[in-house]
Structure 1
Amino acid sequence: MEFQQLKLFLAVAEALHFGRAAQQVGMAQPHLSRAIVRLEEEIGVRLFDRTSRRVALTAAGECLREEAIALLQAQRRAQETTRAVGQQRRCLRIAYVSAALYLALPAALRTLSGGQERVEFALQEATTNEQLSLLAAGEIDLGIGHPPFETHARLDSVLLSNDRFEAVLPADHRLANRAAIPFADLAGEPLVLFPEAQGPALYAAIRDRCRVAGHAMRVAATAPRLHGQLSLVAAGLGIGLAPTQSRSLSVAGTVRMPIRPYPAALVLTLKALYDPRSRHPALPLALTALRRGVAAGKRSRRYAE
């Protein structure tokens, strides 16, 4: 069985039509049909049920489809890693959620770009679920995202931080002159949050805390990035929640306030995600730099406080 055979098989498995699949791979339909027949003969099972009206995968075909995808992804990873080592190229492809920009990622990039073994980067912002797909496809080397996420047997994660939230109020809000605010008081106010689809587990945790405090959560507005949320708070639309690590990000017309007592369920966890089979020479350096950068940032913040 060869990789080219698997590529042809996947083309038919995706299209479930020999004519369309043949067009996609640039091959005459009879040649593609013969290639699939040879693959079936080599394996010894039928991969497709064919009738004059439809083409469908058999149970064996479904099994091969999953394995073929994994094999071709592994082939791409092997090619990329070998090429990087052979060319002595140390470009690390990193995807991150916006919260990584508060502390973890900038600190790591400073360390890696200024060290003796200088590392180049290709950076892109992506949700945690998008990162899982990119890692599985071998399109990035390192992700920085928020759990919980579906456990993937071929991926490992490293805890970077567990951050708390602070309340962010309009400067002229009636509660803005307090030293601290209990979550129960926040729960009765209109909130400015991120879209639920962006972080469903955290969104649910906030909703549950409001319910425990005796209020139905009221979301006045949403924005996908913290800066947008703070701008909406400054406009007086509601109260926001901001990670403590984001204190360097401020918007005129807002006031930050600690939440006391703090609800234990409200935690913003950040993890590094990677494929343990990766042989990228810069990956261990990056994981170490991320952990050290977060630790140094925490020490600096405690000293400043």
Structure 2
Amino acid sequence: MTELNVPTLENPASQQSVRELRQRNARREVTERRRMTERLRKALVTEGFVLHYQPIITLSTGFARGAETLVRLRHSRRGFVPAQHFMPIAERSDIITSLAGWTLREACRHAATWPAHFTTSMALSLPHLQSGQLIRQLLESLNQSGLAPERLELEIAEPALLDSNDDTVFALKALQGLGVRLALNNFGTFYASLSALKRLPFSTLRLDRSLVQNLDEDSGNAIVRAVINAGHALGQTVLAEGVENETQYQILVDLGADEGQGLYFGPPVGPDEMAAMFAPA
């Protein structure tokens, strides 16, 4: 039988090829990151960003109580690019402070035109929270728009609590002192301990969408029930992210969740469409 000459990683030539491939991929990633960074800088001065809003629904009534602010990057071919495709790059540079400041100003300006009982929420990155610029930007946004601070909710992702320190806790409590509401995003991924939640001033726990996706399974229901009960035990409102169908909605109501958000209730829309949804009939 003739032996096949199959290249293996033990072959020096194959090892060299793997190294070269990794180097090319690394160079490509650096180049793409640099291009995106420059695109983001340009977008800040050319109205290249836009805000969309997704309704937040009170599950017991089915009515909207507000909306979450979502940042989108305008693209000539791809349309509106979601934040997950560019925000990690922004957070690794000084762009995040300027972008977050713009988002705050615009979100407050839009929300100030909504009925007085509607709120807006927006994600807050750990680099922005720790930048030292947030309080100033927040006060300017609230003063310029006239939005009451209790109508603004800032979200911090649960994994960020792993990197939190005394300065982070101080910053969160300072935000609470200004009257702004705080939400813990992606709750239920089990990064945060209940003891940590007790010392942090969150008013809302946003259930991670991965938990909601498993609601048709008995074990998934039990986990969500436990998380909802834990949130209520801490005196916090529990919001379920990623609600996509009637079954999930009904189960969440039965389990005692307070609020919901997802495509079942409506997709993200522009500020004009959001204002029209809030307008009286």
Q: TM-score when scaled to structure 2?
A: 0.26
The structure whose RCO (Cα within 8 Å, separation 6+) is larger is 1
Higher Cα radius of gyration: 1
Q: TM-score when scaled to structure 1?
A: 0.25
